[in-house]
Amino acid sequence: MLTLATAQAELLAKTKASQEIASDRAEVLNSGLAANLEMPHPVFIDRGEGPYVYDADDNRYIDTSVGFGLHMLGHVHPVVEQAIQARVPKGWMFGIHSTSQLKLANLVQEGSPCAERVVFCNTGSEATMYAFRAARGYSGRDKIALFDGFYHGAHDYGMWVADPASPRTTPSALPMGHGIPGVLKELTLLLPYRDSHAFDLIRQHKDELALVFVEGVQSSNPQPEVGEFLRELEAVCRASGVLFGVDEVITGFRVAYGGAQERFSINPDLATYGKVIGGGLPVGAITGRAEVMDVFTGLAADRGVFSGGTFSGNPLTMEAGAAVLKHLRDHPEIYVELERRTQRLADAVNAHCESLQLPVQMKHVGSMFHMFFQRETIMSSRDIHGRELSAQKAFYLHCLNAGVLVPGTQRAFLSAAHDDQVVDELIEVFTASFDAVNTEGLFSSAQ
């Protein structure tokens, strides 16, 4: 059984080029990508193929990041490659509206239950920022309600975490890092996730709220039982006269073709998209009821808001995204197989950890999964503790050394390219890595 020290030594020996890149970058490039900074060992990816990525030293890894969830078909899928290659000779950036936009817009509208209208932008962060602006413009109110444990992108209005010292039922917001103007806290109502006290707070603040916004599934806390909470949340918003919005940047076209809306039978006023709908290229989209989306028709419109971006709706992204969505639409068996394989992976990992009485549980919704290093039930982010941090870090380093890449955020995914043989290998690596960590006595609370 490999020790942690041996695994570290092996990684150092086989990632010389990555280490050299890391040293060179330190003098030139600051990286704000937290998931890379948190990797158990620095590796730099050179290429991808199906369920695999290859680093600068040509080491192969099973990739469970798949572009932070965006590659539903795996890396360099032929339908996406062909769509990009067909677009390139015609030009890939005009600024002016192109002939490619309507193709993807129609597919998004077809797949999103609430999407009477579609507006494209460049990233998921932009999409949620514009959704907040649209809700404020439409409603004439300024306050946005968000849930503890959320992530809605990197704009100032979404950079809040729950103060751990605040009451669970009435969480107080703290800025996520410096540079967030304190005055914006007054425009944010933080709600307890999967807790009925959130409904009381919405009713109490209904006259101030422009929007209640929630992830279809929290990527940091993928709980399959969230549907009942989402449906009641929608009903409370309707009764309170407050817009209900769903962040489908990660869940859209991933947990089902119709995203969380389809999976949990909800129908929001606004929904945001990113990741999957771009086919691997930068994209964001805001969708929703026509009445609300009319604010995007120009500043001269009634309650009109500004939106724009040089690269918004660029033809290269539109063609790649349309190729992916059409393929997913025409092959519904992809979702059936992803569901089955992710369930098999979770069942095997959970059974192994239970047999050894290890404080680990894998949670998943559809093909997105996350491992929590604790036995305690998790309702919201307030329940997640870090008492097994040493064991967790050791586990992910063993996985990387054994050829499985899990993103630094530990928010992981399978793609259609992760077939049963790949899932078998994942199970083997995960269970062997748990065994190595357990044998070395790194679990502080193992029984």
- pLDDT tens digits in sequence order for the chain, 447 residues long: 789 999 999 999 999 999 998 888 777 877 655 544 578 888 999 999 999 999 999 999 999 999 999 999 999 999 999 999 999 999 999 989 999 999 999 999 999 999 999 999 999 999 999 999 999 999 999 999 999 999 999 999 999 999 999 999 999 999 999 999 999 999 999 999 999 999 999 999 999 999 999 999 998 899 999 999 999 999 999 999 999 999 999 999 999 999 999 999 999 999 999 999 999 999 999 999 999 999 998 888 889 999 999 999 999 999 999 999 999 999 999 999 999 999 999 999 999 999 999 999 999 999 999 999 999 999 998 999 889 999 999 999 999 999 999 988 889 999 999 999 999 999 999 999 999 999 999 998 654
The CATH 3.90.1150.10 portion of the chain extends over 4-63+332-439
* Contact status, residue 374 vs residue 388, Cβ threshold 8 Å: yes
Pairwise CA distance, residues 17 & 20, whole Å: 5
Computed over its alpha carbons, how large is the radius of gyration of the chain? 22
**CATH superfamily ID and name for 4-63+332-439:** Aspartate Aminotransferase, domain 1 (3.90.1150.10)
How long a stretch of residues is the chain?
Answer: 447
CATH number belonging to domain 78-330: 3.40.640.10
User: C-alpha distances in angstroms, 216 versus 194, 230, 284, 292?
Assistant: 12, 8, 16, 20
The CATH 3.40.640.10 portion of the chain extends over 78-330
CA 447 from centroid of its chain's CA atoms: 33
- Residues tagged active-site: 151, 247, 275
**Roughly how many angstroms between the first and final C-alpha of the chain, as a whole number?**
20
The pTM of the full predicted model, rounded to 2 decimals, is 0.95
Please list, in sequence order, all residues whose beta carbon lies within 8 angstroms of the beta carbon of residue 269, skipping any fewer than 6 positions away: 114, 243, 244, 245, 288, 289, 292
What amino acid is encoded at 260 in this protein? A
Three-state SS at 365: strand
Three-state SS at 223: coil
User: C-alpha distances in angstroms, 399 versus 237, 296, 342, 425, 430?
Assistant: 44, 46, 18, 11, 7
* Contact status, residue 135 vs residue 270, Cβ threshold 8 Å: yes
* Number of helical (H) and strand (E) elements in the chain, helices listed first: 15, 16
